[in-house]
Amino acid sequence: MRSEQMRWPWILLAFVALFVVVAAASGLAFLFLRQQQIANADWLEPISAVVPEDIVPDLALYPLAGAADLETLDAAIANGDLETAYASLVYNPDLQDEQRIGRLILLGRRFTDAGILEKADLSYQQIYGIAVLSPGLSDPTRADALLATGRGWAEVGRDSRAMNAYDQVYVIAVRSPYLHMAHRRDLLTMLETAYLELEATEQAEASRQRIIELDQGTRPQQPLEAGESPDLPVGTEVVSSPEVGVIEEARRQAAYNLLQVLDGREIPPGLVTELDLALRAEDAAKLALYRQELEDTAQLSRRIGLHRQIIGWLTLKYRVAMQGFGISLVPEWEEQAADIQSALSKAYEDLYFDYEDLVTSLPDATLLGPGRYQVRRQVVQAGRLGLYPNYPEDQMAGKLRDIASELIAAGYLADLYVDMEEGTGALRFFLSPTDEYGFQE
C-alpha cells in the first residue's frame, strides 16, 4: 500500500512532463504554421514592418530640421541606410505614384543585394498595388512597373507572385486599348523571355503567338483616347498662420540642435526634451487651426486640402509615436500610438467622404461614375500601402466592384477594371478585361 502511494507522485510528474512536451510541440507547430502563413500571405501591412532599431536617426531626423523628405529618402538609399529609406517612404503620404514606384524599385534591388528578402518582397508588393490600383497611371507605366515587379519577385524566389505580375503585364499588352503597337510588341517580347526564365512554357508560347499576330497584322491598331474622368483636387494649398510658422521654426531649430550631437556620443536629454516640447506645441497649434478652418468652410476642394494636411501631420505624429525616426522623441505619443492611429484612420475617412460629396456635386452627370471609381481606387490604394490604417477593405472592395460593374454596363471606355478575389489573409486585386470581370470568384 505504501509503495503504491509513493508511485502516485511520479505518475503525476510523468503526466505533467508529457503535457509540457505536447504543449511545447503544439506551440512550435503553431509558430511554424503562422510563419508559413505570413510567408505565403498575399499582402502584409508595410508600415508594421519598419524596424526602429535599424533606422539611422542622424539621417532620418533631417526632415524635422527642414530638409525635403524626398532628398532625405534618396540620400538614405544612396548611403545604403535601407531601413531609414524604407521608413521615410512608407510614412510619406505625399509622394506621387511615379516617385513611389521608382524608389521602391531601387529599394527592392538594394534589399535583394543585401539579402533582406522579406523587405524586398514588401517593396515589390507595394509596387504591384500601385500599378493595379492607382487611377492616375497610364497603362504603359503600369505595365513597366509590373514587369519590374515580376523580375524583382523572381530574383527573391517568389515565383508564383512573379507569375501573377507577368500575367498582369500580359493582360495589359493584349487588352489595353491605349498602347501603341511598338510598346505592345516590346512588352510581349520581354514577357516571352521572363516566362521562359520561370519555365512557364505555355505562357511564353502565348506571348510568342501574340507577337506573330502583331507582326502579321495589316492594319495596326491605333491607341484610343482614355474615357473622360474628372480632375479631382489634390489639395496643394498650404493652410498656415503666423503662430504656426513660429512654432514650426522652433521645431526645426530643436531638431537641428539634436542632429549636431547625433554622432555616437551620449545624447543630452535636454535636447530631446526641447524637440519633444516643440513637437507637442506644433501638434496643438496645427490641429486647432485645421479644425477651425474645417468648421469655417463648406467649399469641398478647400476641405479636401485641409484633410490632406491633417493626414500629413498625423502621419508624422504616428511615425514619432512608433519611433519611426530611430529614436524616442515624444514618450507621451508612444503611449498614445493606438489613439493616434485611430485619429489618422478617421482623417482618411473624412477625406473620402468629402471626395464622394465633391463627385456627387459635379455639374456633368456623366463624370459621376468615373469620379466614384477614381475615388474608390484611391481609398483602396491608400489602405494597401498602409497609409490608411485599418481601412475597411471588404466594404471598400465591394463598393469598388459595384461602381466598376456599373461603368462596364454603361459602356464606359476602359476595358481593364480593378477586380478582386479571395487570397491568403487578404483580398488579391488585379486588372480584368470587361468580358471577364467578376468571374474569378
User: Hey, what's the cell of 425?
Assistant: 489573409
The answer to whether residue 126 sits within a structural domain is yes
The residues near 296 (Cβ < 8 Å, ≥ 6 apart) are none
The answer to whether residue 326 sits within a structural domain is no
pLDDT-based confidence at 147, cuts 50/70/90? very high
Least confident of 51-60, 94-103, 406-415: 406-415
CA dist., res. 318 & res. 340, Å (int): 6
25 and 113 assigned to the same domain? no
Judge residue 70's burial from the number of C-beta atoms within 10 Å of its C-beta, 0-12 exposed, 13-18 middle, 19 or more buried. Answer: middle
What pLDDT shows up at residue 264? 62
112 and 191 assigned to the same domain? yes
Percentage of residues in the chain with pLDDT exceeding 70? 87
Residues 250-302: pLDDT tens digits? Answer: 999 999 999 999 876 678 889 999 999 999 999 999 999 999 999 999 999 99
Q: How many CB atoms lie within 10 A of CB 69?
A: 16
Give whole-number Cα distances, 414 to 83, 180, 364, 406, in Å: 38, 16, 19, 12
Give whole-number Cα distances, 269 to 201, 329, 330, 420, in Å: 63, 10, 12, 51
- Provide the residue type at 140 as one letter: P
pLDDT-based confidence at 55, cuts 50/70/90? very high
Candidates 246, 256, 236, 39; CA nearest to 157 is 39
CA dihedral over 111, 114, 116, 117, signed as positive or negative: positive
118 and 33 assigned to the same domain? no
99 and 201 assigned to the same domain? yes
Higher pLDDT among residues 33 and 45, named by residue: 45
The answer to whether residue 318 sits within a structural domain is no
In this model, does residue 15 exceed pLDDT 80?
no
Least confident of 163-167, 333-337, 413-417: 413-417
Which residue among 169, 193, 216 closes a domain?
216
Segment 201-221 mean pLDDT: 87
Higher pLDDT among residues 341 and 1, named by residue: 341
In this model, does residue 354 exceed pLDDT 60?
yes
- If one counts the domains in the chain, the total is 3
Segment 196-211 mean pLDDT: 96
Tell me the Ramachandran region of residue 247: left when phi exceeds 0, alpha when psi lies from -120 to 50, beta otherwise: alpha
Tell me the Ramachandran region of residue 417: left when phi exceeds 0, alpha when psi lies from -120 to 50, beta otherwise: beta
Candidates 152, 135, 199, 194; CA nearest to 169 is 194
107 and 169 assigned to the same domain? yes
The answer to whether residue 428 sits within a structural domain is yes
The answer to whether residue 139 sits within a structural domain is yes
Cβ–Cβ < 8 Å for 362, 230: yes
The answer to whether residue 70 sits within a structural domain is no
7 and 112 assigned to the same domain? no
Judge residue 328's burial from the number of C-beta atoms within 10 Å of its C-beta, 0-12 exposed, 13-18 middle, 19 or more buried. Answer: middle
- Return the CATH number at 182: 1.25.40.10
User: Hey, what's the cell of 293?
Assistant: 478652418
User: Hey, what's the cell of 230?
Assistant: 474628372
CA dist., res. 116 & res. 372, Å (int): 39
130 and 211 assigned to the same domain? yes
* Domain enclosing residue 21, as ranges: 1-40
The answer to whether residue 434 sits within a structural domain is yes
- Provide the residue type at 318 as one letter: Y
116 and 192 assigned to the same domain? yes
Which residue among 216, 244, 274 closes a domain?
216
Residues 116-126: pLDDT tens digits? Answer: 999 999 999 99
Residues 383-425: pLDDT tens digits? Answer: 999 999 999 999 999 999 999 999 999 888 777 999 999 877 7
33 and 104 assigned to the same domain? no
Which residue among 216, 241, 272 closes a domain?
216
Q: What is the mean pLDDT of the chain?
A: 88
> In 122-139, which positions are buried (b, 16+ CB within 10 angstroms) versus exposed (e)?
bbbbbbbbbbbbbbbbeb
The answer to whether residue 88 sits within a structural domain is no
CA dist., res. 11 & res. 5, Å (int): 10
118 and 192 assigned to the same domain? yes
SS3 category, 272: helix
pLDDT-based confidence at 20, cuts 50/70/90? very low
Percentage of residues in the chain with pLDDT exceeding 90? 78
24 and 98 assigned to the same domain? no
Residue written as grid cell 484612420: 345
Segment 163-168 mean pLDDT: 98
Higher pLDDT among residues 124 and 11, named by residue: 124
**Main-chain dihedrals φ then ψ at residue 254, nearest 5 degrees:** -65, -40
